[in-house]
Structure 1
Amino acid sequence: MTLRLVTVFGGSGSIGRQVVQRLASQGVRVRVAVRDPLKAAFLKPLGDLGQIALLKVNVADEAAVARAVDNADGVVNLVGILAESGRRTFQALHVDAAERIARLSAAAGVRRLVHVSALGADDAAAARYARSKAAGEAAVRQHVPAATILRPSVVFGPHDGFFNLFGSFTRFSPVLPYYVKDGVRPRSGQAGADGPRFQPVYVGDVAEAVSRALTTAEHLGKTYELGGPRAYSMREVMALVADQTERRVRPVPVPMWVARMQARVMGLLPKPLLTTDQVKLLEVDNVLTGALPGLEAMGIEPTAVETVLPQYMTRFRPHHRHVVLRAPRRS
């Protein structure tokens, strides 16, 4: 399918900027629906003059969403949050906004809709985040049965909030704590001893999956789980961070009950690092189930963490690691 205009909701995030750039490189006009166009101005140079348009949109506003999808060939919904704040709740953004975007896209005659959800979306999950993601998927399917739904695991890349977060910790802490099931087991490798497992997926692979879902008919109406080539325990993630930052930090296991206590305090902050709902997410693995097709089914070879991490984790290395010593010049 040839695309002329694609509207991307939430296009200024770490995934969004990659999606916008990928579409622009294919000659597509991109309309980026964001809360603050000024803060999203960095997207404009990713395309040719006039190719990328920024539109101020509140996803709770029916008229604003309708304007955003008007005359679009495709729509991509990347709107999502990890923690609630004020009116920005899971229900409002993961469910109500998803329903609104899908319903108004269908009314506008949009031919392709790609909805980016999350791995672990489940209406029976303990975490409200995961339940809201599942409810959002159901709302999308109700209005656009042919929508393509993508469920990525933790997404990594230059602007991620995962490896970059832990990398920043190495600047001031000699340890990298990771949470394990209640009680610290002395030997690594035992069930739960190394923390929950993740299957990080490269942001470029996610952007390519979005692009192919928009242009290839075989992906219509399907749900895909997106993950990298292998899974890592939280201990292995911390070891990767320590290795790539070249700092003398040590991964240290912390019982999950400590996480629950910390979350009660951190959850009160304006931008909490940890909430009680996120702790519930950490109590289960976030890896591909194998029950749904993945990147390979879309013709995409998953990118390994080790091939990309060195490209952006160097920013957390001690300054002297970047100094090139030269022999003094002789007169």
Structure 2
Amino acid sequence: MAATNDQTVTVFGGTGFLGRRIVRHLRSHGFSVRAASRHPDRGHGLFGPDDPHLQSVGANIYDERSVADALAGAYGVVNAVSLYVEHGQETFHSVHVDAARRIAAQALRAGVDRLIHISGIGADAASRSRYIRKRGEGELAVRDAFGNALFVRPSVMFGPDDAFLTTILRLLRQLPIYPMFGRGLTKLQPAYVEDVAEAVGRTMQRAVTPSMIFEFGGPRVYSYEEFLRAVAHQAGLAPRLIPIPFAVWNALAWASEMFPTPLLTRNQVELMQIDTVSSPETPGFVELGISPHSVEAILQKMLSNCE
């Protein structure tokens, strides 16, 4: 653990899949950290032994006073709050646009020096995908409220206890015939969640820079079919991959959305038709001195830990 400086960073979404890793990596870079979330009690079991420089605090991103309290006296803030399936009042707009604007505005009011906003590769306010469109609108709202904000756009992230790689691995093991989204041609560049968290830590440490965007993709670009075959090969599986038209997936998602907790949404089907690959013109892992881990290397560790 690095020596602690006198700078505190508040991490909204600090108990989430990426957020809790960001908390740990910020601590390793010497920052005091406030992990702010709706369920602060979860933080006590996530961050190891008691650390006087790590607080788990309650925060409601929909409430200005709550956000302001979490930011009081902070040097930096990371907004790692995300939503992938809409539930009632929790919509892509309320989380990725309204709450993002609220956090940025309160950060400026609190005199915070540095704001890092976690978005996603492909974020675009003109996208036909509602999720990607709201990600893009959120970036614009944050930049409008906090002019020097830094934006981190990860590709789809993987790691232990994720909802991506572990789900695919489980299904590959259960299904001798695996239904693919479309013909499996969609491009993806999965990034290891610990690499992304380390990148956030290094970005927080960097000398003051104007607002800029980082995109973080892993070392290899796969087609969806190539990715499935790579995961299956590492796990010693040989499934039969069957193309299923997106129109069929949309129909299944529409039916699934009638249930309180849908297994599949039309938004998810839509995202599976959009490539998520980092732009070579945009700064990424290389500029921060990080050599990203491959899916194969991490999957081998995950598999060996399960044995």
Q: How does 1:37-116 map to 2 (within 5 A)?
A: 37-45=40-48, 48-116=50-118
CA change 1:241–1:175 in 2 (3 A) is farther
Aligned equivalent of 1:118: 120
**1:5 pairs with 2:14:** no
Partner Cα distance (1:254, 1:315) in 2? 33
SS of aligned partner of 1:134: helix
Return the offset for 1:69.
0.6
C-alpha contact 1:213 1:220 (8 A) present in aligned 2? no
- Give the corresponding residue for 2:30: 27
1:198 aligns with 2:200: no
- Which stretch shifts more, 207-216 or 165-174? 165-174
10 and 252 in structure 1: CA distance in 2 versus 1, 3 angstrom threshold: same
Pair 1:230-2:240 in alignment: no
Q: Within 2, Cα distance between the matches of 1:291 and 1:265? A: 41
State the TM-score, normalizing by the size of structure 1. 0.86
Which whole-Å deviations, capped at 9, do the CAs of 1:147-167 have from their partners, x for residues lacking one?
Answer: 110111101111221111111
The residue number in structure 2 matching 1:189 is none
Q: What is the CA-CA distance between 1:8 and the residue it aligns to?
A: 0.4
Residue 210 of structure 1, aligned match among 174, 197, 200: 200
Listed one character per residue, the Cα deviations across residues 145-187 of structure 1 (whole Å, up to 9, x for unaligned) are 111101111011112211111112134321222112xxxxxxx
The alpha carbon displacement at 1:288 in A equals 1.6
Measured after TM superposition, the shift of residue 303 of structure 1 is: 2.0
Question: Does the 8 Å CA contact 1:196/1:285 hold for their aligned counterparts?
Answer: yes
> Aligned-pair distance for 1:294?
1.8
Q: Which amino acid aligns with 2:33?
A: V
CA distance in 2, matches of 1:138, 1:230: 29
Partner of 2:146: 144
Q: How far 1:88 sits from its partner (Å)?
A: 1.0
What is the aligned counterpart of 1:309 among 288, 299, 303? 299
Match of 1:15 in 2: 18
Number of the residue aligned with 1:326: none
Corresponding pairs, count: 304
Distance 2:287 2:10 in 1: 25
Residues 157-166 or 300-309, more deviating: 300-309
**Worse-superposed segment, 91-100 or 22-31:** 22-31
| Contact in 1 for aligned 2:202/2:288 (Cα 8 Å) | yes
**1:17-75 CA deviation, whole Å, 9 max, x = no partner?**
21111112233221111111223322241x65322211111100111000001101110
Asked if residue 175 in structure 1 is aligned to residue 177 in structure 2, the reply is yes
Structure 2 distance, partners of 1:137, 1:31, is 23
CA positional deviation for 1:111: 0.6
Residues 255-264 or 297-306, more deviating: 297-306
2:234–2:299 Cα contact (<8 Å) kept: yes
For 1:329, the equivalent position in structure 2 comes to none
Q: RMSD of the alignment, in Å?
A: 1.9
- SS of 1:14's equivalent in the other structure is coil
What CA deviation, in whole Å up to 9, does each residue of 1:287-317 have, x standing for no partner? 123342222122222222222111114567x
Structure 2: 5+ residue stretches without partners: none
Task: Tell me how far 1:271 sits from its aligned partner.
Answer: 3.2
Distance 1:120 1:25 in 2: 30
Could you tell me the TM-score, scaled by structure 2's length? Answer: 0.93
Deviations 1:93-117 (A, max 9, x none): 0001100000000100001110000
Select which of 160, 163, 166 maps to 1:161.
163
- CA distance, structure 1, for counterparts of residue 273 and residue 75 of structure 2: 40
CA distance in 2, matches of 1:301, 1:106: 33
Aligned residue identity for 1:167: L
CA distance in 2, matches of 1:251, 1:42: 39
The CA distance in 2 between the partners of 1:152 and 1:77, in whole Å, is: 13
Greater C-alpha Rg: 1
